[in-house]
């Protein structure tokens, strides 16, 4: 991994620009939203845990819930000059790893993915690629020079979005 790669942990949001690199390690049920402005070559990652802030108090951390995290990430990027219309989104994560823990009818990973699509749809940001679902964890690297997202499973190369 290149020197100076910044990891976006659970409930975090980070923005970056060319030539920086962002990463998100060990995604299980979490779905990360990766936004990229290919003209300005800047973007960011939001790594929320849960689909919706409804019925929860957000407290000081909008990064924890998909709806507030996407809003906060868009806000940060807007300050750098990237309006939603100039951004493209990619999604990764949302695995259903613990098949025996059937707490919900729809696994949390899929609910996180649905919440991502809803939040991005509302904001008018198109989703251009995704690697979502399945039963395996993911780690990814987001290169701001060209916007590519390299996904790994079990430390072996996976897809490039």
Partner 1 sequence: MSDPTKLLTEFQLDALKEIGNVGSGNAATALSQMVGKRVDMSVTKVLVLPIDGIAGFLGGNDRNVAAVHMPVYGELPCTALIFFPLDRIPELCSMLIGRNDEDPFALSELGRSAVKELGSILTGAYLSALFRFVHLQLIHGVPGLVVDMAQAVLDTVLVELEQRDEVAIVIETEFLENDRALTGSFFLLPEAGSLQKFFSAFTRAMGLPGNA
- Do 26 and 95 form a contact (C-beta atoms < 8 A)? no
CB of 133 to partner 1, least distance (A): 14
Pick the piece of the chain touching partner 1 (CB under 8 A) from 26-34, 37-45, 77-85, 124-132. 26-34
| DSSP state letter for 156 | E
Residues 6+ apart with CB under 8 A from 81: 40
Residue 98 binds partner 1, judged by CB under 8 A = yes
Q: Tell me, residue by residue from 37 to 56, as one string, x for binding to partner 1 by CB under 8 A and - for no binding.
A: ------------xx------
* Residue of 16, 27, 30, 108 with catalytic role: 30
* Residue range at the interface with partner 1 (CB under 8 A); choices 78-86, 93-101, 113-121, 123-131: 93-101
If we measure between CA atoms, which residue out of 89, 88, 112, 108 comes closest to residue 98?
A: 108
| E strand or H helix at 67 | helix 66-79
Q: How far apart are CA 113 and CA 81, in angstroms?
A: 27
Catalytic residues: 30
Interface residue list for partner 1 (CB under 8 A):
7, 9-10, 25-30, 49-50, 95, 97-101, 103, 108, 136-139, 154-155
């Amino acid at each position: 991994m290149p020197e100076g790669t910044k990891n976006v942990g659970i409930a975090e949001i980070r923005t970056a620009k060319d030539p920086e690199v962002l990463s998100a390690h060990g995604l299980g049920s979490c779905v990360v939203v990766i936004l990229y402005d290919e003209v300005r070559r800047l973007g960011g990652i939001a790594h929320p845990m849960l689909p919706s802030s409804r019925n929860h108090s957000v407290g000081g951390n909008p990064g924890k819930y998909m709806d507030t995290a996407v809003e906060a990430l868009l806000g940060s990027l807007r300050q750098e000059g990237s309006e939603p219309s100039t951004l493209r989104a990619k999604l990764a994560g949302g695995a259903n790893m613990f098949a025996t823990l059937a707490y919900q009818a729809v696994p949390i990973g899929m609910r996180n993915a649905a919440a991502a699509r809803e939040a991005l749809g509302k904001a008018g940001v198109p989703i251009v690629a995704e690697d979502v679902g399945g039963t395996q964890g993911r780690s990814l690297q987001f290169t701001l020079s060209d916007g590519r997202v390299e996904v790994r499973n079990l430390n072996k190369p996976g897809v490039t979005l």
